[in-house]
Chains A and B, each alone.
Chain A
């Protein structure tokens, strides 16, 4: 093998300390080494890691934002890098990207689709219309934001947001998933302590 064995014998050695200063902060690991060759992780954090690394989105284009969502999935932006797979059925999806204007006639189908998705599930409101009505703020038939119907985790601003903005929104959602799991773990352990006392 061409690989320099010495260099890779200790993986912490090759780590560039300067990268922190440049803003490349490595992700916090959920694993900790408890014994040589044994790593441990909290189960909910481990599950959260698995969940956030493979988010299946419900392919659910409503309006203009759907075109940018499709652009994000296609060759140039390739959102598949983040483990995002678009899926036509709500039964196997984790994330609903509400991409476009929600009108009153569509309100019931959206609620129903959300209810059909299995837990845990998240919602991204993409674009100004899904956030608060956007340019159709005064319209008689538009729901003023999808959060009147279903709980929203991440709002992506823009009309329509660029594919990069959607990617940033998805990364925010990933952060939210892992931090939620961590906070929940803290909450549970505190409860546990309180019960003992």
Chain B
């Protein structure tokens, strides 16, 4: 009788290949991972991406400058406003446009709210990845609150197309401030509730503590950014180190981790939500009525040239490289997607860990495939 297919004639074990995805509930989209296993241990992992490659960068070249914003909405579809902001900032940098203060405050408030909603999605889905069913219900409850606020302001739940070149589409509705206050108060409570629910849970700690520790050198070398880089202990946030917009007017901290394990990555996001709330509260206090759109020509035609803009999206360092040839359409748009660079490191992270941890590690990266594949 044959004992096992995985044992060869000489008695030693043969590596087994396991295909994970592209349709897999824990891959957060369409992502394929081929794992080579020696028993329970992962020997090698080969990530395959491109199952959502929509050719956005090429399509940008055929649209006019103001139409491209809609394509950026759909790149990072969990934090849409943050991607819109990166693109608009790139065009404004070429145009050397001065954006009115109120527009910047609205942008900042909405982007920080979007950061919270993105991290809430991470919180819920990470709970599912680890095996907890309840957090996802709480996470989506808070997301729904934020999305309905977005709907009041921008008119859409997800694809806002609200941040425009030179400002925002229109001023906030009169009831916005009141509703924002209510949402902030509710979020404050909800973040504490979510924190209590999962963070110190013993099973959660056992699944995530000391799993896939990443060193600072490796993280930087792989181009890893955002919460994963900060979890290794490096203090780096584009909002503070190279402040764009009005981020230099706020007082907020950068949460960092110490070991770079999965729990640190999770907990940094929980703390970031608190920091975002504090930014929103400061912004509400400072915000004054005024113009929301800079005076500019209706047809956007930046001068010939190129620029690179870095912003801090919930996933990390979102860069836009924009080349203009002086016509109505961008000549080239390159998106430096944070998830793309973060996902590169997964091959390194998965080597030598147990196969049961693969999903936990992948979940902790919080990738959005729309951004990875573009």
> How many angstroms between the C-alpha atoms of A9 and B143 in the bound complex?
47
> How many angstroms between the C-alpha atoms of A159 and B160 in the bound complex?
11
Q: A139-B54, A139-B55 are in contact. Are A76 and B144 (CB under 8 A)?
A: yes
Contact B58 A60 (CB under 8 A): no
Judged by a CB distance under 8 angstroms, whether A176 is at the interface is no
Judged by a CB distance under 8 angstroms, whether A101 is at the interface is yes
The tally of residues in A whose CB lies under 8 Å from a CB in B reads: 34
Judged by a CB distance under 8 angstroms, whether A149 is at the interface is no
Contact B143 A71 (CB under 8 A): yes
Q: In the assembled complex, how far is the CB of residue A166 from the closest CB belonging to chain B, in whole angstroms?
A: 12
> How many angstroms between the C-alpha atoms of A94 and B159 in the bound complex?
30
Q: In the assembled complex, how far is the CB of residue A45 from the closest CB belonging to chain B, in whole angstroms?
A: 33
Residues of chain B within 8 A of A74, CB atoms compared: 124, 136-137, 140-141, 144
The tally of residues in B whose CB lies under 8 Å from a CB in A reads: 36
Contact B77 A64 (CB under 8 A): yes
Contact A142 B136 (CB under 8 A): no
> How many angstroms between the C-alpha atoms of A99 and B136 in the bound complex?
19
Judged by a CB distance under 8 angstroms, whether A8 is at the interface is no
Judged by a CB distance under 8 angstroms, whether A14 is at the interface is no
Residues of chain A within 8 A of B30, CB atoms compared: 61-62, 106, 109
Contact B140 A64 (CB under 8 A): no
Judged by a CB distance under 8 angstroms, whether B53 is at the interface is yes
Please tell me which one of the listed residues A59, A71, A103, A135 contacts residue B52 in the complex, with CB atoms under 8 A apart. A103
> How many angstroms between the C-alpha atoms of A90 and B136 in the bound complex?
23
Please tell me which one of the listed residues A67, A76, A136 contacts residue B55 in the complex, with CB atoms under 8 A apart. A136
Residue-wise, chain A 84-95 has the 8 Å CB interface mask toward B (1 for contact) of: 000010100000
Judged by a CB distance under 8 angstroms, whether A189 is at the interface is no
Judged by a CB distance under 8 angstroms, whether A162 is at the interface is yes
Q: A64-B158, A88-B25 are in contact. Are A106 and B52 (CB under 8 A)?
A: yes
> How many angstroms between the C-alpha atoms of A58 and B25 in the bound complex?
10
Judged by a CB distance under 8 angstroms, whether B370 is at the interface is yes
Contact A140 B58 (CB under 8 A): yes
Contact A106 B22 (CB under 8 A): yes
Residue-wise, chain B 70-103 has the 8 Å CB interface mask toward A (1 for contact) of: 1100100110000000000000000000000000
Q: Quick one: closest A residue to B21, CB to CB? A: A109
Residues of chain A within 8 A of B53, CB atoms compared: 103, 105, 141
Q: Quick one: closest A residue to B136, CB to CB? A: A74
Q: Quick one: closest B residue to A76, CB to CB? A: B144
Residues of chain A within 8 A of B121, CB atoms compared: 67
Q: In the assembled complex, how far is the CB of residue A103 from the closest CB belonging to chain B, in whole angstroms?
A: 6
Nearest 8 interchain pairs by C-beta: A74-B140, A64-B77, A139-B55, A88-B25, A76-B144, A75-B137, A106-B51, A136-B54
Query: Apart from A63-B29, A71-B147, A100-B52, what are 11 other A-B pairs with CB-CB below 8 Å?
Result: A64-B159, A68-B157, A70-B140, A71-B143, A74-B137, A75-B137, A75-B140, A75-B144, A90-B23, A103-B52, A142-B55
Pairs A–B under 8 Å by Cβ, sample size 16: A63-B52, A64-B74, A64-B159, A64-B370, A71-B140, A71-B144, A71-B147, A74-B141, A75-B140, A75-B144, A101-B52, A103-B52, A135-B74, A139-B55, A139-B59, A160-B159
Give chain A's interface residues, CB within 8 Å of chain B: 58-64, 66-68, 70-71, 74-76, 88, 90, 100-101, 103, 105-106, 109, 113, 135-136, 138-142, 159-160, 162
